[in-house]
């Protein structure tokens, strides 16, 4: 049959780019309370006072990055009304930086032309900080807001989050008032910040909760209007995408991806309507792909933890306590001759797996006798975890033979 001709006609989409993750909408739907909290936290800046440091947190896909861009754009444009303000913003995504040192190098490079960038090794960290202070001083701005998105990548090495907020106090930076906006989707990150950092960084904490199904519906509706041709969406499509995503993660990113994939499937099949069945099919495909990718990149101990829970689940022993998972984990780790790590470490692994959406927990209360505790179970379908684990690293896939 050979190749088909590429043609422009598209029965489903008018503009599919609107559904992509990198599309930047001009409006944040269903986030009025958080936006006003955010604007309130930045009010000192417009009043020419020293900025508060802000820590923004919430699970993945709940609008933290988008909100930040919109709020700061508004601030930058409203400062035009005041002659005594010259606010600058530096925006850094820290995803690929694993230490404070790297973040400080990246920040320095934000101020430099391509030809003058510094390498990510070779300087003492005090030198890098000094370069940073020099650049900030040279800005001649009244305020500098430093946005550190996905800051959880730096883990425990949080020195930069101490130095930046104190840049004015210790006179590293004189005339420019520095404020930091840290953004994280890792809840354990905030808890693990050193006390001195918590003190300086968290003047204001803003939480972005997951979206519920109604909110997701409105977010999707707004996007779908520009993305799809009139009448191609079945009445159940958006509600179903919203319900699935609300149930699984509360993430707008996930909901958008699901809707996009469903439309994409309908197009591939030359269908002129995106019905419910495409949403279900899309969900399966996305889940499989996502789990596969993520599982392959998990450390072995996390894979073993997940395998232990999978076993318990297939034996009908879930939801179960953490101690049950740990007990099973010891057996499993022993089977593959892996190191057996502590209960505490497995607890951390479980928290991470939960944040990634592999595991869910339910709080239980035993009244005065037991206090409260959690019961755990898988948060994705068994066969998906099983498939993915079987295809992941050799050690773990061996477990399926034994």
Under rule CB under 5 A, which residues in 49-88 are in contact with Mg ion?
A: 65
For the CB of residue 380, give the shortest distance to Mg ion in the complex, in Å.
23
Q: Which does 246 bind (CB under 5 to 8 A by kind): ligand ATP, Mg ion, none?
A: none
Q: Which does 172 bind (CB under 5 to 8 A by kind): Mg ion, ligand ATP, none?
A: none
Q: Is 252 in the site for ligand ATP (CB under 6 A)?
A: yes
Backbone dihedral region of 152: left (phi > 0), alpha (psi from -120 to 50 degrees) or beta?
alpha
Q: Which does 66 bind (CB under 5 to 8 A by kind): Mg ion, ligand ATP, none?
A: ligand ATP
Q: Is 210 in the site for ligand ATP (CB under 6 A)?
A: no
* DSSP per position, 35-90: HHHHHHHHHHHHTTSPPPPEEEE--TTSSHHHHHHHHHHHHHHHGGG-TT--EEEE
Q: Which helix (H) or strand (E) holds 129?
A: helix 125-139
Q: Is 232 in the site for ligand ATP (CB under 6 A)?
A: no
Closest by CA position to 56, among listed 70, 45, 67:
67
For the CB of residue 149, give the shortest distance to Mg ion in the complex, in Å.
6
Under rule CB under 6 A, which residues in 139-198 are in contact with ligand ATP?
A: 150, 185
Window 263-292: contact mask with ligand ATP (x via CB under 6 A): ------------------------------
Total residues interacting with ligand ATP, rule: CB under 6 A: 20
Give the neighbor-by-neighbor strand order of the sheet with 87-93: 87-93, 143-149, 177-184, 54-57, 204-207
Residue from 42, 45, 54, 62 binding ligand ATP (CB under 6 A):
62
Closer by beta carbon to Mg ion, 63 or else 263? 63
C-alpha to C-alpha distance for 255 and 246, rounded to whole angstroms: 8
Contact 118, 128 (CB under 8 A): yes
Closest by CA position to 260, among listed 226, 231, 218, 288:
226
Footprint of Mg ion on this chain (CB under 5 A)? Answer: 65
| Site residues (vs ligand ATP, CB under 6 A) | 21, 25, 28-31, 58, 60-66, 150, 185, 219, 252-253, 256
């Amino acid at each position: 049959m050979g190749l088909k001709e590429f043609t422009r006609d598209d029965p489903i989409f008018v503009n599919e780019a609107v559904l992509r993750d990198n599309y930047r909408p001009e409006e944040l739907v269903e986030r009025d309370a958080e936006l006003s909290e955010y604007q309130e936290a930045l009010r000192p800046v417009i009043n020419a006072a020293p900025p508060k440091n802000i820590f923004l947190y919430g699970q993945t896909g709940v609008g933290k990055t988008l909100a930040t861009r919109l709020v700061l754009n508004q601030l930058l444009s409203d400062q035009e009304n005041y002659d005594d303000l010259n606010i600058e913003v530096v925006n850094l995504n820290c995803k690929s930086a694993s230490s404070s040192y790297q973040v400080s190098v990246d920040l320095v490079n934000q101020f430099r032309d391509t030809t003058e960038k510094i390498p990510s090794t070779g300087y003492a960290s005090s030198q890098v900080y000094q370069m940073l202070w020099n650049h900030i001083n040279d800005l001649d701005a009244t305020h500098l807001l430093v946005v550190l998105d996905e800051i959880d990548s730096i883990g425990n090495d949080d020195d930069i989050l101490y130095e930046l907020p104190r840049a004015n106090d210790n006179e590293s930076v004189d005339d420019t008032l520095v404020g930091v906006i840290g953004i994280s989707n890792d809840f354990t990150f905030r808890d693990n910040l050193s006390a001195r950092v918590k003190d300086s960084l968290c003047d204001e904490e803003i939480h972005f909760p997951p979206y519920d199904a109604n909110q997701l519906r409105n977010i999707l509706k707004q996007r779908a209007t520009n993305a799809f041709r009139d009448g191609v969406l079945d009445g159940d499509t958006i509600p179903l995408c919203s319900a699935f995503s609300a149930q699984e993660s509360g993430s707008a990113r996930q909901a958008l991806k699901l809707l996009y994939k469903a439309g994409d499937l309908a197009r591939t099949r030359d269908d002129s309507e995106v019905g419910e069945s495409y949403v279900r099919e899309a969900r399966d495909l996305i889940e499989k792909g996502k789990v596969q990718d993520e599982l392959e990149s998990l450390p072995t101990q996390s894979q073993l933890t997940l395998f232990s829970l999978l076993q318990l689940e297939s034996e009908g022993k879930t939801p179960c306590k953490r101690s049950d998972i740990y007990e099973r984990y010891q057996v499993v780790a022993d089977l593959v001759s892996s190191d057996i790590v502590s209960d505490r470490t497995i607890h951390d692994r479980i928290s991470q797996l939960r944040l990634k959406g592999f595991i869910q927990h339910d709080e239980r209360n035993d009244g005065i006798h037991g206090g409260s505790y959690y019961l755990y179970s898988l948060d994705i379908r068994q066969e998906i975890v099983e498939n993915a684990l079987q295809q992941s690293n050799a050690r773990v896939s061996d477990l399926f033979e034994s």
